[in-house]
Amino acid sequence: MSDVIIRAEKLGKKFQIGHQTARQENFREAMIRGPRNLLRSAVDLLNGRSVIAGDVIEEFWALRDVDFEIKRGEAVGIIGRNGAGKTTLLKILSRITEPTEGRVDISGRVASLLEVGTGFHPELSGRENIFLNGAILGMTRAEVRRRFDEIVDFSGVEKFIDTPVKRYSVGMYARLAFAVAAHLEAEILVIDEVLAVGDSEFQARCLDRMSKVANAGRTVLFVSHNLAAITALTRRALVFAGGHLHFDGPIETAVAHYAATLSKSGDVRNWGQGQNATLISAALLDAEGRPTERYEPGRPLCVQVVIETVGMPGMSLELLLRDELNLPLAYYTSAVFSQVSLPSKPGRYECRLSLQPYYLASGEYCFDLKTTYTNVHDDHRVDNALRFVVDNCSPDGVAYDFKQGAGRGVFAMKLEKPLQFSMLPPSDGQAAAGQGAAAPETD
């Protein structure tokens, strides 16, 4: 059972992106350019070529020179930063898009799950959507009918199975959608980051299900930013960086390589040395204490810093949280806020900071790290030492992706007590408010 089920050779995918040059042009130029572009588009249309908006066309390789083999029954993780080419690879393997160069040989039926609930229709009931989604994912009606009870059971929405899914909560919707996909029958299962939905109990159930699939001798390709999940499910991983296959091998080594690609993409990578206390490395940790790139708002923000100190007393460790625009958001200094200095015995230390939960908006953030002497003199300073991403922010369990970039700020405000409305008598409303405002003066 060690035959190769997927083999990719020199695989590459090129995209063309059009840019509009932001050049001021006068009316006459626009008049000339208009028809010329129109003519170009018309020629492209007749030849069946794709037309790209903009006057500068740039080629961009989302994936290039990728070779790998995957054996039957193997579970392989695919990791890499955003834009590293992971999703493009999955799209090629699941035949959504075709490669520009190279080839892939696949011998087996591929079921791909790039999104849960693809094609779900809000007006249809849960039952109807199971059949619809099943058909979209390539199941026959007989297959769905055979596994229907199992699917409903797994999803835990049996009570609402005949309710239109538009009345479902976000969690129920996600559970039903994953339940259908989890029961796909195929030799090869290709899964993109789909576990970012649902509560942690359901996520655990999904992981359990996926490890069952992997252990049942089926081939699983699994993309995730959740390194804990990947480590638990797979023994081998492909690490992508900038469209190239950066590393292919055992999962533990792969995670280390992934961390290397992460740090390489930062701005300052030569961390250098401090006089008295040197910052060696930093990582964001997930709930299990494994390095991660994602922060889930509402959990303690766990940062691990490795420091080497010569034992100078009065040294402080400082953290500065910045957002995508590099604006400082929050500050921490150990010597003042916690009244803890770096150890006075020379050596290399691991320091774990568990910061109070923040409800950070989705986006990218980074920490600047610093060791200082008496909080005044910088000893060793590393800007951009630790980058992390927030996928979406859900203060009360409802994933509503308010965007920081949309001018809605950096944090979600979470209520301490439930929101209350007390109705005021209609006519006295204003008077009461006026009295309230006046109260401090009379006091």
Partner 1 sequence: MTMLDQNSPRHLVLEAGRADRQYWPDLWRYRELFFILAWRDVAVRYKQTVIGLAWAFVRPFLTMVVFTVVFGKIAKLPAEGSAPYAVMVFAGLLPWMLFASVLSDASTSIVGSANLISKVYFPRLIVPLATVLVALIDFLVSLFILAGLMLWYGVVPGWQILLLPVFVLLALLCSIGPALWAAAVLVKYRDFRFIIPFVTQIGLYISPVGFSGKIVPEQWQFVYSLNPMVGIIDGFRWCILGGANPIYGSGFALSLGIIAVLLLWGIHSFRRTERAFADMI
Q: 10 Å Cβ neighbour count for 358?
A: 22
Contact 63, 243 (CB under 8 A): yes
One-letter amino acid of 297: P
Residue 420 makes CB contacts below 8 A (sequence gap 6+) with none
- Minimum Å distance from CB 45 to partner 1? 7
CB of 282 to partner 1, least distance (A): 36
Q: Nearest distance from residue 59's CB to partner 1, in Å?
A: 13
The DSSP bridge pattern shows strands 56-71 and 4-19 to be antiparallel
Torsion of CA 223, 226, 229, 232, to 10 degrees: 90
How are beta strands 377-390 and 4-19 bridged, if at all? unpaired
DSSP state of 343: P
- Give least dist CB 103 to partner 1, A: 4
Nearer Cβ to partner 1 (112/226): 112
Q: What is the 3-state secondary structure (H, E, C) of 349-414?
A: EEEEEEECCCCECEEEEEEEEEEEECCCEEEEEEEEEEEEEECCCCCCCCCCCCEHHHCCCCECCC
Place of tokens 């809605």: 408
- Which of residues 5 and 321 has its CB atom nearest to partner 1 in the complex? 5
Give the nearer residue to partner 1 in terms of CB position, either 34 or 272.
34
The residues of the shown chain that bind partner 1, judged by CB under 8 A, are 2-5, 7, 15, 41, 45, 48, 50-51, 69, 71, 91-110, 112, 114-115, 118-119, 121, 123-124, 128, 131-132, 135-138, 140-141, 187
The smaller minimum CB distance to partner 1, of residues 3 and 416, is found at: 3
Tokens of 150: 């199992």
Residues listed for the chain:
443
> Which H or E run contains 437?
helix 429-442
**DSSP-based three-state secondary structure for 416:** coil
Q: What is the largest CA-CA distance in the chain?
A: 87
* Residue 107 CB, nearest approach to partner 1 (Å): 5
CB 385 to partner 1: min, Å: 37
Residue closer to partner 1 by CB (options 98, 416) is 98
Minimal distance, residue 236 CB to partner 1, in Å: 15
Shortest distance, position 94 Cβ to partner 1, whole Å: 5
Judged by beta carbon, residue 108 or residue 249, the one nearer partner 1 is: 108
Task: Using the minimum distance from each CB to partner 1, give the nearer residue, 50 or 427.
Answer: 50
CA dist., res. 123 & res. 118, Å (int): 14
Q: Which is nearer to partner 1, 90 or 307 (CB)?
A: 90
